[in-house]
Structure 1
Amino acid sequence: MKFNEFDFKEELIAGLRDIGYTDPTPIQEQTIPIILDKKDIIGAAQTGTGKTGAFVIPVIQQILENPSEQTQALILSPTRELAQQIDEQIFALGYHTGISSATIIGGEDFGQQAKAIRSGVDIIVATPGRLIDQTKVLDIDFSHIKFLVLDEADRMLDMGFLPDVTKIIKKLPEKRQTMLFSATMPNAIKELANRFMDNPEKVEIAIEKPSGSITQQAYFVNQKEKLALVQDVLDDMKWDSCIIFCATKRGVDELERLLQKKGIKAGSIHGDRDQDERNKSLHEFKSGQVPLIVATDVLARGIDIANVSLIINYDVPRAVDDYVHRIGRTGRYDKTGTAITFVNKKDRRAFSAIQDKVGDQLEMLKVEDSSGTQKPNSSKEKEVKEKEKQKERTHQSDQKKKKETKSDKTMKQLSKKEIEKRNNKVQNLDSVEVILREDKIASKKHELNRKERKQSSNKDSSSKSTNDKSSSKRNEPVIPAERIKKATKRNQNAPKPAKGLWGLIKSLFS
């Protein structure tokens, strides 16, 4: 089917021709006739399938059929960027029609937006929060609204806009045509449809499934290795433009800074940037001035950027739907693209859900180091290797302990006894003999250690043997037992008997 087969006004046909629209996408082909038939509709399709054109084209056609000086259409969008993109498409398609539009979004001049609302533009494209702010200041007349569009409705609910959306809808005429477009169909969307839509028609196109034109790959990688892996991917692959998604605004800022330090030309975008910065970054990326942009999920939904050939999930998205939207930035329409996801240990649970959803479409890769050898492709394998190393260290330690001889243990015990004995008074000869025996064993142990050191440094084995024997003899106690008895008796008969072992030794030589 061709667009010129629809009974569109010539002015609209001219706009379609200007932007190169010839064949409608599946979602457009199925929804446009329903909308032109003035029925409520729920259109569900993955990102990148042309949902914006699916409602903008028939809304413009109906306004052309029944022109008015009042605002006839209200389109609500979850993000500023998406609202601006919708407004740009309205301008392009309606260039020859004279249809006017205005964006009511945060970060831009409040007064200028109020002026646009008062002027009675044909179509208002707004984010819910800023439109609510305008209603607090202006007495906006919504009584002539005929068409309400909720674009990326699931995302609006995720972002907490349901209360604002509800307030806005209650200000609109009950008799209107409502169009709800979403990439997913959670229960909250169904409840919203039941509350505010009149028996809507449903059109679903490949919901929640990534496009088959996208090559999906993943690496298991440590967090500290991600930056180096980004460089490797960018160096090894052929790509025209790349979006790198991070989980947090701080992560976006840090990664942009690190990439620039590495000499990689990169921009960034997230919710904390003011609108001028966001517009500038997005314009530079779309125009090709900056080939790479780092972003949060603010860039994951609805933004139509031509020729994005590479998506890198620097952080694994927490939900499968977010993964589908992120990688849907590439492989759009008849193009192909590659989506690569970096998975660390903390990401395993979230990534497992993604694997279950996409199945065999997702290819697991291994990281190669500079020498060309492959690193382990999962943190689990690294844990196993670390446990094996720890087990080996424990085994070596046990073996070392086993080499300790029986005499070593005996010496440790005797050493303790020696300390206790030296703190006590010598009572009789038997105790003296015990202490001397202990000293003798300690002396022998010391001599054995000395002999072992000599043996390792002296090549002459016979000379070592002679030295060891003579040394051993010189160190043996040579005090006769009779002399010890006399010394003990002499000490006991002294006016002030000496106490302890050292007193006895002193008596021997006095």
Structure 2
Amino acid sequence: MSFETFGLDPRVNVGVRAAGYEQPTPIQEQTIAEAMTGRHVLGLAQTGTGKTAAFVLPILHRLLEGQGPLGQRHHGRGTKRKTRALVVAPTRELAEQINDEFRTLGQATGLRSATVYGGVGFQPQIEALRGRADIIVACPGRLIDHMERGNADLTNVEVLVLDEADHMFDMGFLPPVRRILKAVPDDAQRLLFSATMPQEVAHLAEEILTDPLRVEISRKAPAETIDHALVAVDEKAKTALLLHLLRTQDHRSTLVFTRTKHRAKKLARVLDEANVFVAELQGNLSQRRRQEALDGFKDGTYHVLVATDIAARGIDVARVSHVINFDFPDTPEAYTHRIGRTGRAQRSGKALTFVTENDFGNVLQLERQLNMRVTRERVDGFAGPDEALERLGPGHAAGRSAQGRSRRGGRPGGRSGGSRGASRGPAREGGREGGAREGGAREGSPRAGDRQPAHDGGRPSARAGGDRPNGGRSGNRRRRPSRPRPAGERD
């Protein structure tokens, strides 16, 4: 099956070809044609299944063809645009990723999209909401701010998408989402996507969707292009082990996950002092610094990005060579989401997880739910206690790991693992973008060894200033200038 069979508007197909999409993924194959007719959709799918294009393409087609339930509302030349499609996402990074998809796939359509989220200025967003964008991709907190100030008119919305609804629930966003829903016309098409289905999200779906198409894409096993390994290590030796690996192996683009924001900040500081080109990505950073870190990691300015689970949502970097779980993930879902950042588009990747004695039960649970045994590796000089090694099984030289089952994939760079289940991930940070949390716990509480640094120290998030002395694999390299992006309209 090809994208031509959907009968998309020719201007949309220009973007499909430009993106290099050839065959649709399962969720795209099952969703696009029905969504083009205006049918409501309930999609159960993980990040990396191609779900973003599954709703972006029908939205572009419907806005061009004027097939929305609200009739012919397309703007004329020189007139102000109206918000005709609204996508609500839980994080800034995911909102940017979705907007990038609209820009790529809609490059020949003449339609304009813009992002609305916290941590950046209001004015560009006000201009977008008041007539410079047809499509708005928004985080709930900032959109509510604009609604309260009279900046957002949602009465012309023809298509509404709620993406990653389970994570919006985790972050305490369902109350503001319900307020947004009330501002959208009752006859607007509605699509809801979620990796899991907590009871609250199921109730929301029942309330807002009418005779929906239900699409369920199960991704219990990670991609086969990823080698997995566990390394037993004492808690106090984790940082030394990480530095050893970065210096002795080719970790050209490494994503390191920690459990808490404070842990990410502290670890990034230590790596920076060890002459590693490193940036951090965690919820306490401003949007400018988050974007600088992401841009630098993508273009190779930074070899290592230290991130938390929440801040990393929406990261779309095609060439991540390694994922290192510095702290063991809280759930199998978190594991598959983390390691799905590598091994994309048929490229090989390595996922390495540090395991302490406190993680034994989690290892067994992970292997049971993924139905796979993960390779155990020993690193000379860094083995954990004998008991830990015995519980984890015999060590092996670095090599092939247990593999997930084969998976089908249609879009380049779009495959990542993920498992569905009723268990919820870790607590979500920041209930409002760039502000205080709305009705939820703070991100991860520190565990043993996660002591919070005594002070901020005023260090920038993206670290790598000036020339580096020879040290490890960082070598001598100058930092490139940062390029913070505006967050308003993106034509």
Instruction: Give RMSD over aligned pairs.
Output: 2.0
**1:313 CA displacement:** 0.8
**1:53 CA displacement:** 1.1
Conservation of the 8 A alpha-carbon contact between 2:6 and 2:32: no
Give secondary structure in 1 for the equivalent of 2:136. strand
Matching of residue 328 in structure 1 with residue 334 in structure 2: no
Q: Aligned partners of 1:39, 1:228: CA distance in 2, in Å?
A: 54
Residue aligning to 1:295: 307
Residue aligning to 1:210: 222
Residue aligning to 1:314: 326
Give secondary structure in 1 for the equivalent of 2:301. coil
Q: Which runs of 5+ in 1 are unaligned?
A: 383-510
Matching of residue 77 in structure 1 with residue 89 in structure 2: yes
Residue aligning to 1:122: 134
CA shift digits 1:401-422 (9 cap, x unpaired): xxxxxxxxxxxxxxxxxxxxxx
Q: Aligned partners of 2:249, 2:100: CA distance in 1, in Å?
A: 32
Residue aligning to 1:35: 35
**1:239 CA displacement:** 4.1
Q: How does 1:279-428 map to 2 (within 5 A)?
A: 279-369=291-381, 376=385, 378-379=387-388
Distance 1:365 1:196, change over 3 A: same
CA shift digits 1:370-418 (9 cap, x unpaired): 8xxx664644869xxxxxxxxxxxxxxxxxxxxxxxxxxxxxxxxxxxx
Distance 1:172 1:48, change over 3 A: same
Q: Aligned partners of 1:154, 1:211: CA distance in 2, in Å?
A: 23
Conservation of the 8 A alpha-carbon contact between 1:300 and 1:322: no
Q: How does 1:441-456 map to 2 (within 5 A)?
A: none
Q: How does 1:462-477 map to 2 (within 5 A)?
A: none
TM-score (norm 1): 0.70
Amino acid at match of 1:30: Q
Residue aligning to 1:96: 108
Residue aligning to 2:63: 63
Q: Which runs of 5+ in 2 are unaligned?
A: 67-72, 76-81, 392-491
Q: Which has the higher contact order (CA 8 A, sep 6+)?
A: 2
**1:365 CA displacement:** 2.3
**Segment drifting more, 289-298 vs 212-221:** 212-221
CA shift digits 1:316-347 (9 cap, x unpaired): 12222222211111122433322111122333
**1:302 CA displacement:** 3.4
Identity %: 41
Distance 1:334 1:202, change over 3 A: farther
Going by fraction, where is helix more abundant, 1 or 2? 1
Matching of residue 246 in structure 1 with residue 232 in structure 2: no
Residue aligning to 2:172: 160
Q: Aligned partners of 1:240, 1:7: CA distance in 2, in Å?
A: 42
Residue aligning to 1:407: none
Conservation of the 8 A alpha-carbon contact between 2:129 and 2:153: no
Residue aligning to 2:8: 8
**Segment drifting more, 179-188 vs 265-274:** 179-188
Aligned residues, how many? 379
Conservation of the 8 A alpha-carbon contact between 2:233 and 2:384: no
Residue aligning to 1:50: 50
Conservation of the 8 A alpha-carbon contact between 1:184 and 1:208: no
Conservation of the 8 A alpha-carbon contact between 1:221 and 1:378: no
Distance 1:341 1:285, change over 3 A: same
Conservation of the 8 A alpha-carbon contact between 2:283 and 2:311: no
CA shift digits 1:259-292 (9 cap, x unpaired): 1222211111111100100011101111222121
**1:366 CA displacement:** 2.7
Distance 1:380 1:357, change over 3 A: same
Conservation of the 8 A alpha-carbon contact between 2:322 and 2:351: yes
Distance 1:338 1:136, change over 3 A: same
**1:142 CA displacement:** 1.4
Residue aligning to 1:432: none
Q: Aligned partners of 1:358, 1:33: CA distance in 2, in Å?
A: 32
Residue aligning to 1:20: 20
Q: Aligned partners of 1:169, 1:10: CA distance in 2, in Å?
A: 32
Q: Aligned partners of 2:111, 2:136: CA distance in 1, in Å?
A: 11
Conservation of the 8 A alpha-carbon contact between 1:9 and 1:61: yes
Give secondary structure in 1 for the equivalent of 2:314. coil
Distance 1:171 1:377, change over 3 A: farther
Q: Aligned partners of 1:101, 1:181: CA distance in 2, in Å?
A: 20
**1:162 CA displacement:** 0.9
Distance 1:311 1:364, change over 3 A: same
**1:63 CA displacement:** 0.7
Q: Aligned partners of 2:255, 2:389: CA distance in 1, in Å?
A: 29
Amino acid at match of 1:36: M
CA shift digits 1:108-139 (9 cap, x unpaired): 11122112101152111000011011111115
Matching of residue 151 in structure 1 with residue 163 in structure 2: yes
Conservation of the 8 A alpha-carbon contact between 2:94 and 2:315: yes
Q: How does 1:484-499 map to 2 (within 5 A)?
A: none
